[in-house]
């Protein structure tokens, strides 16, 4: 009996290993992307992601493919009595996948579950920064991103963000930027960059820009980025990403080096998404 169990465990490990191999994962994802995109999903995206209609046909095609993979691989859980709807899932997937628009080949690999609360929520537990947890402190809790498994969002806040694409605030973009930052296991404002040679420039630009924001905010100097970015370098990266997607012209005008780094990292230029993002 013990031998049979041992053999079954070994077979199970081998099967999991095969299914997780990069080639099979890619094949599986390509098959998912080739499925017809449900018209109801498109309608939800057009209603909730204003920037969608500004994307090029090729960008739209890629985004829809990413959304299909995202929805196939991630689990959504309603909290505090919330019933998760298709509208919620597609809206969150669409915003999150904007960050992946130009193929990175990864779909937030550490993330398995997205927890959705109906409104802002309160968490009584003590959050230890030493365990690589990014703690949210603005207003009440609007969202959180954990290095392991989970990301938490407030649907009320997401709806507000969908109606204000140009204000520089987007909780989904913010929390998923944390996921990118945390892909290497640490939340420090340094995501995995394409080349090893990219890190010194990234560090120099981000440090300079972070220090400038930390200088300007207490002195009430008008800034393009929200003051929440002064919390720490991880929050700076998340806030800079929100600004990059929602206020690209202002960011490029006032912080060209920062814009260039984000443009290079995300491999896209939101300024081209013209009208809706014009300041």
Site for Zn ion, rule CB under 5 A: 235, 238
CB of 156 to Zn ion, least distance (A): 17
The smaller minimum CB distance to Zn ion, of residues 34 and 126, is found at: 126
**Judged by CB, which is closer to Zn ion: 87, or 184?**
184
125 touches 150 (CB < 8 A): no
Closest CB to Zn ion among 98 and 153? 153
In angstroms, give the least distance from the CB of 81 to Zn ion: 25
Q: Give the nearest distance from C-beta 277 to Zn ion in angstroms.
A: 22
Three-state SS annotation for the chain: CHHHHHHHHHHHHHHHHHHCCHHHHHHHHHHHHCCCCCHHHHHHHHHHCHHHHHCCHHHHHHHHHHHHHHHHHCEEEECCCCCCCHHHHHHHHHHHHHCCCCCCCCCCCCEEEEEEECCCECCCCCCCHHHCEECCCCCCECEEEECCEEEEEEHHHHHHHHHCCCCCCCHHHHHHHHHHHHHHCCCCCCCCCCCCCHHHHHHHHHHHHHHHHHHHCCCCCCCCCCHHHHCCHHHHHHHHHHHHHHCHHHHHHHCHHHHHHHHHHHCCCHHHHHHHHCC
Residues 6+ apart with CB under 8 A from 89: 71, 76
Output the smallest distance, CB 134 to Zn ion, in A: 5
Give whichever of 42 and 231 is closer to Zn ion, judged by the CB atom. 231
Q: Identify which of residues 209 and 235 has a Cβ nearer to Zn ion in the complex.
A: 235
User: Which CB atom, from 71 or from 98, has the smaller least distance to Zn ion?
Assistant: 98
Q: Which is nearer to Zn ion, 235 or 246 (CB)?
A: 235
> Nearest approach, Cβ of 181 to Zn ion (angstroms)?
9
Least distance (Å) between residue 23 CB and Zn ion: 35
Residue nearest to Zn ion (CB): 238
Find the shortest distance in angstroms from Cβ 67 to Zn ion.
Answer: 23
């Amino acid at each position: 009996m013990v031998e049979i169990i041992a053999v079954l465990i070994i077979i199970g490990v081998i099967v999991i290993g095969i299914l997780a191999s990069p080639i099979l994962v890619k094949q599986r994802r390509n098959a998912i992307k080739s499925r017809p995109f449900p018209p109801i999903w498109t309608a939800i995206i057009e209603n909730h992601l204003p920037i969608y209609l500004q994307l090029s046909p090729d960008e739209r095609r890629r985004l829809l493919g990413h959304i299909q993979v995202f929805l196939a691989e991630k689990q959504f859980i309603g909290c505090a009595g919330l019933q998760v709807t298709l509208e919620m899932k597609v809206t969150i997937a669409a915003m999150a996948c904007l960050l992946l628009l130009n193929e990175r080949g990864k779909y937030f690999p550490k993330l398995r579950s997205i927890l959705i609360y109906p409104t802002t929520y309160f968490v009584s537990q003590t959050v230890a920064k030493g365990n690589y947890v990014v703690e949210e402190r603005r207003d009440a809790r609007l969202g959180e991103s954990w290095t392991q498994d989970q990301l938490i969002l407030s649907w009320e806040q997401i709806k507000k963000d969908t109606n204000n694409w140009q204000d520089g605030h987007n909780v989904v973009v913010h929390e998923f930027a944390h996921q990118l930052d945390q892909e290497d296991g640490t939340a420090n404002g340094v995501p995995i960059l394409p080349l090893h040679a990219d890190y010194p420039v990234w560090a120099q630009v981000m440090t300079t820009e972070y220090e400038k924001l930390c200088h300007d905010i207490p002195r009430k100097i008008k800034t393009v980025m929200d003051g929440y970015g002064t919390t720490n370098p991880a929050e700076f990266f998340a806030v800079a990403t929100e600004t990059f997607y929602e206020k690209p012209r202002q960011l490029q005008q006032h912080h060209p080096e920062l814009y260039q780094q984000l443009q290079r990292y995300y491999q896209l230029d939101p300024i081209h998404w013209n009208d809706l993002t014009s300041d």
